[in-house]
Every structure is written in C-alpha cells, then in structure tokens.
Amino acid sequence: MIDIILASALARLVLLIVLFMLVVGAVVLVSSILSRRAVIRSQLRAIAKSGAAFGTEETLRGRRDDHWGRLADRIERAGLSLSDTNSGALKQKMIAAGFESPSAPRLYILVRMILIIILPLLFVGFTIVGNLELSLFKLYFGGSFFALMGLYGPSLVVQAKIDRRREAIVNGFPDALDLMLVCVESGLGLEAALDRVGRELVFSHPLIAKMLTTTTLQLRAGASRESALRGMAGSAGVEEVGSFTTLLIQSDKLGSSIAATLRVYAAEMREKRRMRAEEKAHRIPVLISIPLVTCMLPVMIGVLMLPAAIRVVRSLLPVMQGG
C-alpha cells in the first residue's frame, strides 16, 4: 500500500489533501469547543451581573433553550403576526403534547404557514422537473391537496403526540400510585413521597417522573399544595390525574388520611387498567375478522370450489359437444 502511494503522484496528492482536511477539522473542532466555553462563561457573568442588579430570574438554560422563541420574536417584529384567536386552548394543547416552551404556540402557527406555502411549491417543482404535464386541473387540485396537508398535517402530528403521551401517563400512573401509597404508609409526607416516586420512575415512566418532580420543585419553591397539584393536573391533561389531584386537595382541606385516599384510588386505577386490557382483548376477534374475510375467505372458497368446477367442466363438456 505504501509503495503504491509513493509511486503515484495522484495518490500522494489525495493523501495530503485528506491529511490537511483532518488537521483543519481537528483545529476547527477544538476552537469551537473553546469558543463555546468562553461564550458560556461570558453569558454566566452577564446573567450574574443582571441578576444582582435587577433581581431577574433568567438562567443560562433559559437562554440556550429559547432560540426558537427569539426567532418567533424576530418574525413578529418583521410584521408577521403569529398569534391565534384562541391562544389559551392552543397553549393547553401544546402543553398536553409535551411542548412546554412559551413560544411553542407561535412556532406551531409558523410551521403551518410555512408548510402551506412550501408543499404546493414542491409539488409544482417536482412536476416541472419530472417533465410531467401540468394542467390547470392538476395544478388546482394538487396545490389544494398539499396546502390542506400543510394546514392540517401539524395538527395531526400534535394530536398523535397528545394521544401517545396521554396513553403513557394513563398506563404508568397506577404504578406511581402504588409506590406513593407504600411511601406514605411507611411514614413519608406527600412532598417526600412525590420526590421519591419521581426519582424511582425516571427510567420506567419518564413522563410521570418529570410531572412529579416538577410538582415537588414547585412545592419546595413555596407554592401552595393546591396550586402545585392543580398545575400537575393541567400539565398532564389526563382525567385520571385530574381526579387524583382533586382527591388529594379535598383530603388535605378536610384533614382525612392521604394513605386511605391513595389506597382507594390506586385500586380504582388498577381496575380501570384491567378493564382497558379486557376491552382490547375482546376487540381482537372483531379486528381479525376483517383480514380473514378480505384475504383468507376468497382463497378458501377457491380451494373448495375449483376441484368441483373442474370435474363439472370435464363431465359436461363432452356431453354438450355430443361426445
């Protein structure tokens, strides 16, 4: 291999170019890491100075995660409004889908507006590049179809994420209740039980762990138990979690036993989960019958009827021909 490289001038040139690119890439990588650290240090110093001077609550994570929000702000300052007529419902929908950023509703509207324009243009572009006939009928209905896809596609994606997130919370919440019941009965308070269960469910049920951890942090920050629990129910967007938080708030106000409340509600949640599993099991025969009738039944009819049809043809054709 070395002899071939030494003998060929082109091979030596390619080798030198590759080595040059590797060295340049390593230098760029190291410099970008060092510059990023320097930028982070400068941002931390700026945040410390502004927080000491004005008492703000800005954090470095908030700065790094809000670049999409800054993009939406620039677009709105340019004159394009990204607000919605029903902003409260849209915000709750985005939170239920897992998009908790304050700029998520505006970005959702921005994505829909971009797709409404981009998808019909792509359709026209691919039609022209492919040398296909672009009639007025095809342009009108194709453009309308892709514009509708751009308008309703993000809604379908967000709704699918809401359904998956809701299903994950509903399936994992009985396990969280069982662990919480064990913690409360062992002598822990509600805040300590929420914190312990949230740390235990990080890998098995991360959505529930995040929800419980956020509630615990709100309680530690000084929020009342009622407001923290209602915030957990609002972020979850699940009826079972809302009923659970209502029971805890009522138990806290009336002074009843939280352990008894958790025991009763955990049993109800387990029963509901068992009933959902039985419902899915009872739906299987009905779902199987559709491919059975569509695919297997014609084949079975053909297998049963073709031998008889062949025998009839062999017996009747000679008689009909006078043989």
Query: How do residues 221-245 score in pLDDT, each as one tens digit?
Result: 888 888 888 888 888 878 888 888 8
- Both 159 and 186 in a single domain? no
With a cut of 60, say whether residue 44 has pLDDT above it: yes
- Both 172 and 154 in a single domain? no
Q: Is residue 141, in this structure, part of any structural domain at all?
A: yes
Q: Is residue 48, in this structure, part of any structural domain at all?
A: yes
Distance CA 176, CA 194 (A): 9
Q: What is the pTM of this model?
A: 0.64
For residues 313-319, average pLDDT: 77
- Both 7 and 31 in a single domain? yes
- Both 212 and 230 in a single domain? yes
Q: Is residue 40, in this structure, part of any structural domain at all?
A: yes
Q: Of 64, 84, 103, at which residue does a domain stop?
A: 64
pLDDT of residue 47: 59
Residue 177: enclosing H or E segment and its boundaries? helix 136-185
- Both 129 and 189 in a single domain? no
Tell me the pLDDT band of 56, cut-offs 50, 70 and 90: very low
Q: How many CA atoms lie within 13 A of 139 on its CB side?
A: 8
Sign of CA dihedral 106, 107, 111, 117: positive
Q: Is residue 193, in this structure, part of any structural domain at all?
A: yes
Q: Is residue 323, in this structure, part of any structural domain at all?
A: no
pLDDT of residue 7: 63
Q: Is residue 282, in this structure, part of any structural domain at all?
A: no
- Both 155 and 237 in a single domain? no
Count of structural domains, the chain:
3
- Both 129 and 116 in a single domain? yes
pLDDT of residue 55: 44
With a cut of 70, say whether residue 50 has pLDDT above it: no
- Which residue range(s) make up the domain with 198? 167-276
Q: Of 40, 64, 88, at which residue does a domain stop?
A: 64
- Both 184 and 139 in a single domain? no
Distance CA 258, CA 249 (A): 10
Tell me the pLDDT band of 167, cut-offs 50, 70 and 90: confident
Q: Is residue 307, in this structure, part of any structural domain at all?
A: no
- Both 143 and 235 in a single domain? no
- Both 50 and 116 in a single domain? no
- Both 179 and 239 in a single domain? yes
Percent of all residues in the chain with a pLDDT value above 90, rounded to a whole number: 0
